[in-house]
């Protein structure tokens, strides 16, 4: 069993958290990074640096980082080639009055790699790209309704269909229908219920599992059958599961696709790609921002894409990811937790999810206990395991051992003693059932 580490001294984290709460609503710019998603009193609240696969908290402790900044870190923190590209571009400038050649160079690289990418535009976040895709689809089809399966960002068109919809006008909420991922019949029913009204179907190609043979193509075909466009939200899967994203790996080409996260290895950049005849509506549809062509992020993207093409990055991600998933499943079986813990997704990004014994209770106690025990073993855990090129076989062994120790503690507490084993308040749900 992995040795338990001391996380009792959180003096600096707590000091920064107090300062943050006095000036920043939610104490963070990103909900998943904020205090409601980490067991307070055990988890650090701030990190100050990162190298390779690890981050250092404000109190000086290093952790192996499974969330990898929520997915962007594909080559590892502080990759020398990417960092050198950023520093070199910094000498020439960051944002300019006219476009920079990097915009063309990165767009050309994406065009060569991604099957649907006949044309490319840039944004700063995944939400930028998915929202632009929906606006284009509405303009191209003359329709307003959207059918979604997955998580697609914070903008009104999507979040209005979730429990986080406060502040979204009712008229906007009514334009989005949510269906469960991979539920083709529910998707068909939504398209029939809104016959002639649906502009697009938006899906994440990979979630808790990989798509089965022909499943993604079936979604594309279904959308087209009802006169709608197919949009793949590849903000997570793009460039992570393969050079051309999930659409290349699983052989289904959408009309539009949104990319982000791994594109810049941590720098803020996203991309919208699609068929030329659909993207042409951008001549009239407004998708514009001062920092869409910001050059430091574009330099990082160019360097990242070059490394992905020149080195065996994806071979590494899939090999270590499979080793990790297999190791975690072995630990689940060893501790007889099959009823409680599931391991899913694709190898470069797996999900380790815990079923709550009392789902109507206060917070996510079982997930919190697993997080707490992983933290005690020097690993940051939030449910996602993102492999990067900086990972080693030894890192995989360390994480599997940490899961084993954490599962042992979880198994001894399930089903009714979990809250008593927590050393802080349980983490909460980001989204709840919509009433």
ω into residue 75 within 30 of 0, thus cis? no
- Mark which of 280, 295, 310 sits at the end of a domain: 310
Confidence (pLDDT) at 333: 98
Residue 433 above 90 pLDDT? no
56: β partners: 49, 62
Residue 240 above 70 pLDDT? yes
Same domain, yes or no, for 160 and 28? no
What residue numbers bound the domain in which 361 lies?
A: 11-70+313-421
In a domain, 430, yes or no: no
ω into residue 415 within 30 of 0, thus cis? yes
pLDDT tier at 239, thresholds 50, 70, 90: very high
Same domain, yes or no, for 16 and 108? no
Same domain, yes or no, for 218 and 118? yes
The terminus-to-terminus CA distance of the chain in angstroms comes to: 43
Same domain, yes or no, for 341 and 286? no
As a whole number, mean pLDDT of residues 309-314 equals: 98
Nearest to 126 by CA among 276, 290, 25, 264: 264
Confidence (pLDDT) at 59: 97
Residue 361 above 90 pLDDT? no
Confidence (pLDDT) at 116: 98
In a domain, 5, yes or no: no
In a domain, 292, yes or no: yes
pLDDT digits (tens, 9 = 90+) for 321-354: 999 999 999 999 999 999 999 999 999 999 999 9
Confidence (pLDDT) at 431: 79
Number of domains in the chain: 2
In a domain, 427, yes or no: no
- Indicate the Cα dihedral angle 363, 366, 367, 373, nearest 10°: 120
Same domain, yes or no, for 399 and 269? no
In a domain, 349, yes or no: yes
- Mark which of 310, 326, 352 sits at the end of a domain: 310
pLDDT tier at 1, thresholds 50, 70, 90: very low
Q: Which residue has the tokens 């937790």?
A: 337
Same domain, yes or no, for 85 and 229? yes
As a whole number, mean pLDDT of residues 26-46 equals: 95
- Angstrom distance (rounded) from CA 256 to CA 231: 5
Q: Phi, psi at residue 356, to the nearest 5°?
A: -80, 130
- Angstrom distance (rounded) from CA 38 to CA 367: 10
Same domain, yes or no, for 64 and 86? no
In a domain, 6, yes or no: no
Domain of 86, CATH number, reads 3.40.640.10
Same domain, yes or no, for 17 and 63? yes
Residues of the chain above pLDDT 70, percent? 97
In a domain, 106, yes or no: yes
Residue 32 above 90 pLDDT? yes
Q: Which residue has the tokens 């767009």?
A: 107
Domain of 47, CATH number, reads 3.90.1150.10
Residue 286 above 50 pLDDT? yes
In a domain, 2, yes or no: no
Confidence (pLDDT) at 104: 98
- Angstrom distance (rounded) from CA 286 to CA 284: 6
Residue 413 above 90 pLDDT? yes
Taking only Cα atoms into account, the Rg of the chain, rounded to an integer number of angstroms, comes to 22
Longest Cα–Cα distance of the chain, Å, equals 62
Mean pLDDT of the chain: 96
- Mark which of 257, 285, 310 sits at the end of a domain: 310
pLDDT digits (tens, 9 = 90+) for 362-393: 899 999 999 999 999 999 999 999 999 999 99
Same domain, yes or no, for 142 and 240? yes
- Angstrom distance (rounded) from CA 57 to CA 43: 10
At residue 103, the 3 state secondary structure works out as helix
Same domain, yes or no, for 214 and 325? no
Same domain, yes or no, for 17 and 85? no
Whether 7 contacts 376, CB under 8 Å: yes
Same domain, yes or no, for 277 and 410? no
pLDDT digits (tens, 9 = 90+) for 67-121: 999 999 999 999 999 999 999 999 999 999 999 999 999 999 999 999 999 999 9
- Indicate the Cα dihedral angle 13, 17, 18, 24, nearest 10°: 160
């Amino acid at each position: 069993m992995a040795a338990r580490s001391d996380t009792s001294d959180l003096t600096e984290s707590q000091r920064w958290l107090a300062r943050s709460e006095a000036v920043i609503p939610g104490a963070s710019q990103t909900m998943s990074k904020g205090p409601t998603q980490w067991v307070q009193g055990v988890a650090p609240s701030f990190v100050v640096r990162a190298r390779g696969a690890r981050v250092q908290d404000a109190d000086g402790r290093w952790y192996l980082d499974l969330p990898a900044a929520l997915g962007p870190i594909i080559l590892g923190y502080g990759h020398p080639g990417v960092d050198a590209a950023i520093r070199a571009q910094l000498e020439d400038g960051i944002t300019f009055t006219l476009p920079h050649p990097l915009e063309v160079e990165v767009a050309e690289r994406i065009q060569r790699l991604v099957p649907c990418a006949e044309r490319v535009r840039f944004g700063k976040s995944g939400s930028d790209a998915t929202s632009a895709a929906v606006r284009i689809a509405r303009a191209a089809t003359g329709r307003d309704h959207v059918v979604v399966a997955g998580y697609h960002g914070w903008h009104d068109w999507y979040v209005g269909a979730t429990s986080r919809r406060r502040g979204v006008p009712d008229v906007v909420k009514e334009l989005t229908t949510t269906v469960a991922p991979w539920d083709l019949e529910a998707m068909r029913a939504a398209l029939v219920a809104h016959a002639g009204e649906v502009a697009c179907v938006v899906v994440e190609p990979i979630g808790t599992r990989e798509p089965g043979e022909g499943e993604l193509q079936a979604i594309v075909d279904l959308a087209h059958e009802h006169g709608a466009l197919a949009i793949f939200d590849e903000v997570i899967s793009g460039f992570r599961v393969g050079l051309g994203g999930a659409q290349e790996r699983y052989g289904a080409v959408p009309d539009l696709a949104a990319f982000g996260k791994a594109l810049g290895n941590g720098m803020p950049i996203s991309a919208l790609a699609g068929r030329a005849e659909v993207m042409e509506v951008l001549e009239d549809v407004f998708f514009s921002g001062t920092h869409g062509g910001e050059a430091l992020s574009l330099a990082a993207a160019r360097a990242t894409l070059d490394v992905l093409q020149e080195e065996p990055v994806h071979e590494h991600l899939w090999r270590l990811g499979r080793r990790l998933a297999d190791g975690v499943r072995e630990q689940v079986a060893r501790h007889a937790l099959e009823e409680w813990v599931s391991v899913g997704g694709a190898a470069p990004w797996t999900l380790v999810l815990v079923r709550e014994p009392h789902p109507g209770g206060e917070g996510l106690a079982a997930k919190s206990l697993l997080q707490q025990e992983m933290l005690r073993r020097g690993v940051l855990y939030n449910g996602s395991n993102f492999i990067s090129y900086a990972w080693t076989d030894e890192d995989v062994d360390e994480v599997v051992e940490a899961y084993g120790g954490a599962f042992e503690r979880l198994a001894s507490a399930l089903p009714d003693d979990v809250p008593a084993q927590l050393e802080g308040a349980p983490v909460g749900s980001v989204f709840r059932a919509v009433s």
